[in-house]
Structure 1
Amino acid sequence: MAALSVLAIAVASGKAGYVFLSGGKLQDWGITVQAVRSGNELVGFVQGLINELRPDVVVTEDCTVSTCRKGDKAKALIRSLAKLASHNGVLDVDVPRPRTYQSKYEEAEALVTTYPEVAGHLPVRKRRIFDFEPRSMVLFEAIALAQEVINGPPKRVAAAMG
């Protein structure tokens, strides 16, 4: 399944991150703060990514599972991205957010070993309880979502195909 081109989008409070993998290689990535002000802005931003990158699959977080920790606004934004993918004839796969590490920071460090191109986005230090989460953490969330589809069971993509 590594031959698929995958656009994964993660939405967090006041930010969104995306990664584009083709043939298992990280081709493009980014973080936006301005596009998450409204659903229309985020949909427009992602529509531009779909037009430019032409992915086979768009991956978003499954917000229907009990383990989803997103707020109502983030969930609404994620649902709008799923609709956008289906309107573009792109396969939309929603996956539960993988939680295989003790913390997001350990996950980010592990992902950097696989994708060293994003090492510059790794937070310098772990967040203290009263600090805001670093903006770049949403990028690692998007990578984790993409890996769930690329490395996960093929039945997930097959189920999305109907």
Structure 2
Amino acid sequence: MNTMLVEGPRVLAFAAATGRVGSVFLIGDRLIDWHISNKAAESKVEAAGHAQTLINRFVPDVVVTEDLEAASSKGEHTLSLLSAISTTAAHNGLFDVSVPRKHLYANKYVEADALVEEYPELAPWKPAQRRFYDNEPRNTVLFEALSLALLMRDQA
């Protein structure tokens, strides 16, 4: 796809959860690319390196991450990953927007359903609702990143 034909701000959004970092890249309202990385979740150095690779590849206008102060359900390690990503954006002279994660839906799975309605290309990555004894599905972080990007868009 020729991304030069798509208009609007170039937004790279990141979300982190235990053992994974998700990212989405949008130009305007068009979803261009998405990633989930386990390696980026290993350390702050890996998270920063992953962010730098994606910044170099997509040349975003803005990087979006979750507001660290509002991320009360995130662990210390996960917060350090998000901080490293924000720092990497700043070192690249990019506008870094930290938005509080708003829960506009009953749960993450209802949110994923709604996001797939708007972005059907993500349907294969939509997480199945887990049973109470299962770990959270790996792909929820992808939908969290998209949600953060859309929150930033809606606040602008």
Q: Please, what TM-score do these two structures have when normalized by structure 1? A: 0.89
Contact 1:62 1:68 in 2 (8 A): no
After TM superposition, give the deviation of residue 85 of structure 1 in Å. 0.6
- Counterpart of 2:137, as a letter, is P
After TM superposition, give the deviation of residue 69 of structure 1 in Å. 1.1
1:16 aligns with 2:21: yes
Runs of 5+ unmatched residues, structure 2: 1-6
Equivalent positions of 1:75-86 (< 5 A) are 75-86=79-90
Residue among 40, 46, 63 paired with 1:41: 46
Equivalent positions of 1:51-90 (< 5 A) are 51-65=56-70, 68-90=72-94
Residue among 80, 95, 99 paired with 2:103: 99
Residue among 141, 146, 149 paired with 1:146: 149
- Counterpart of 1:143, as a letter, is L
After TM superposition, give the deviation of residue 60 of structure 1 in Å. 0.2
1:134 aligns with 2:134: no
> Number of matched residues?
150
Q: Post-superposition, which runs of at least 4 consecutive aligned residues in structure 1 deviate over 6 A?
A: none
Residue among 24, 31, 35 paired with 1:26: 31
1:75-118 deviation digits (Å, cap 9, x = unpaired) = 11111111111110110000001200010000000000001111
- In structure 2, C-alpha distance between the alignment counterparts of 1:76 and 1:136, rounded to whole Å: 20
Query: Aligned with 2:130: secondary structure?
Result: coil
Query: Aligned with 1:6: secondary structure?
Result: strand
Q: Could you say what the CA RMSD is over the residues aligned between the two structures, in angstroms?
A: 1.1
- In structure 1, C-alpha distance between the alignment counterparts of 2:115 and 2:76, rounded to whole Å: 28
